[in-house]
Amino acid sequence: MARKNVERNISYDDVRKIYYVSMDLGKDKEGKRTKRYQTYRTLRAARIGLRDFLAHREEELNAPKHDLTLGDWLESWMDNIVRPTRAETTVYGYQKIIDNHVGPGLGHIPLLKLTPMDIQQYYIQVQQSASLSSNTLRRHHDLLSASLRAAVRQDKLLRSPMDKVEPPRAQQKEASYYRPEELKQLYALLEGHPLELSAKLAGSLGMRREEICGLKWDCIDFQRQLLYIREARTAFGATVVQKETKTKSSVRTLFIPDDVARLLQLEQARQAEKLREGRLKEPSEHIVLDHKGRPYSPNALSLAFTRFVRDHDLPRVTLHGLRHSFATVASFQGVPLFDIGKALGHATPATTGRIYTHLVDHTHEDTLLKVSDALK
């Protein structure tokens, strides 16, 4: 056999007409260097084979070496990365997912052996056993993606298995809302009711329930009829906290219509009277208070509104549905989607269009009718 060196680690057998690639596997347990040989039909194929081997070998040499399980890593990630940098509500949500689902389902698997198929099968298993929606499962996917990206950055993994995982398809829920005549009926029934102000802040200004609960008197400018949204009151578990708004775009200034301004003034006078009578121990920073004179929690306010709707046999719409109603009424009045989104505190018109698909459909209907009328 006549074998001649062609290039470093590549030789050619001119009898068999094949190329040999020498692949250095390093030293064995006894300290002896070991090699294996791979044959290729062409020099180009041999070069590619050698390059791939060297890249794989380099990856093996640099691969992390530890015995952490996914559960171990998630605990470290939560303690050292998430808790110091994320809002309490985010921490609570992540920990609940880990404790209830990800930990029991995947936590025992060594981090270095976690595969895309493990995660894909987990999605199927947890969706069937816990009857989770696709939207809820998408939060599991986001958590795993964030934690395993962090593992790569911290040199615990060479690459994230999430790169090859097919994410659960989020399903856009159809927004429930009142049409203008239904919203008018609700307002008529709420006249003089303790929920009237909250309902109008949601239905006439498009505010989120967390923004309503977090609204303070120093955010109201009666002289200029302006309302400043800077904070939100959010619940996680049994804990309620005052925090920054949902996103930067949620920080906004809204004009106060006359009827809402009147309700705010009435509430201010009502709180002052309760303070004089001793029914309030001290002046409240917050505008929307429950029957005990305490700032409402978002869940309690939603529940109170849902009961009112049920007791008055109204179409089943939540307090958040009044925000959707605001967008619907604005659209019926010809307000562009961009302006509706700004009032709602959305980052982009795409967000508004994605949530309020019925508004886009309404716009399409209006557009097509105008074209049709022009061609008559």
CATH number for the domain that contains residue 220:
1.10.443.10
Give pTM, 2 decimals: 0.69
Task: Judge if 58 and 75 occupy the same domain.
Answer: no
Same domain, 206 and 344: yes
- Domain stop point among 62, 87, 102: 62
Helix%, strand%, coil% for the chain, nearest 5: 55, 15, 30
Alpha-carbon distance of 100 to 103, in angstroms, equals: 7
Task: Please report, to the nearest 10 degrees, the dihedral formed by the alpha carbons of residues 346, 349, 352, 358 taken in order.
Answer: 160
- 172 within some domain: no
Are both 18 and 145 inside the same structural domain?
A: no
Contact 23, 36 (CB under 8 A): yes
Q: What is the Cα–Cα distance from 346 to 305, expressed in whole angstroms?
A: 24
What is the bridge-based pairing of β-strands 231-236 and 239-244? antiparallel
On whether residue 184 sits in a domain, the answer given is: yes
Per-residue pLDDT of the chain (376 residues; tens, 9 = 90+): 578 888 988 889 888 889 999 888 777 777 787 888 888 999 999 999 989 888 887 766 666 778 899 999 999 999 999 999 988 888 999 999 999 999 999 999 999 999 999 999 999 999 888 888 888 899 999 999 999 999 999 989 988 999 999 998 877 666 688 999 999 999 999 999 999 999 999 999 999 999 999 999 999 999 999 999 999 998 887 788 888 876 777 899 999 999 999 999 999 999 999 999 988 889 999 999 999 999 999 999 999 999 999 999 999 999 999 999 998 888 888 888 888 889 998 877 777 767 766 565 656 666 666 776 777 6
Question: According to the model, what pLDDT value does residue 245 have?
Answer: 78
293 and 217, same domain (yes or no) = yes
Number of domains making up the chain: 3
Judge whether 373 lies within some domain.
no
* 320 close to 302: Cβ distance less than 8 angstroms: yes
Q: Which residue has the tokens 């996917």?
A: 141
Residue 317 lies in a domain: yes
Domain that holds residue 123: 70-164
Q: Are residues 51 and 76 in the same domain?
A: no
Residue 134 inside a domain? The answer is: yes
Between the alpha carbon of residue 48 and those of residues 39, 41, 51, 57, the distances in Å are: 12, 12, 5, 14
Sheet arrangement for strand 33-40: 3-7, 10-13, 18-27, 33-40
- Residue 337: predicted pLDDT: 82
| Pair 114, 55 in one domain | no
Q: Say yes or no: 40 and 136 in one domain.
A: no
Q: How far is CA 289 from CA 245, 251, 285, 303, 360, in A?
A: 19, 22, 10, 14, 36
**Pair (24, 97) in one structural domain:** no
On the CB side of 99, how many CA atoms lie within 13 Å of its CA? 7
90 lies in the same domain as 226: no
Regarding whether 13 and 118 lie in a shared domain, the answer is: no
In a domain, 15, yes or no: yes
Residue 147 CB burial class (10 angstroms; 0-12, 13-18, ≥19): buried
CATH number at residue 117: 1.10.150.130
Name the token pair of 131. 């009857």
- Tally: H helices and E strands in the chain: 16, 9
Report the chain's C-alpha Rg in angstroms.
Answer: 31
Q: Is residue 169 assigned to a domain?
A: no
Does residue 375 fall inside a structural domain? Answer: no
Residue type, 99: D
**Cβ–Cβ < 8 Å for 178, 321:** yes
What's the pLDDT score for residue 348?
Answer: 78
Domain final position from 16, 40, 62: 62
For residues 310 and 215, is the Cβ–Cβ distance under 8 A? Answer: no
**Amino acid identity for residue 65 in this structure:** K
* 134 and 275 belong to one structural domain: no
What confidence score (pLDDT) does residue 235 get? 83
Show which of 62, 83, 101 is a domain's final residue.
62
- Rounded to whole angstroms, how far apart are CA atoms 139 and 97? 9
Q: Are residues 121 and 227 in the same domain?
A: no
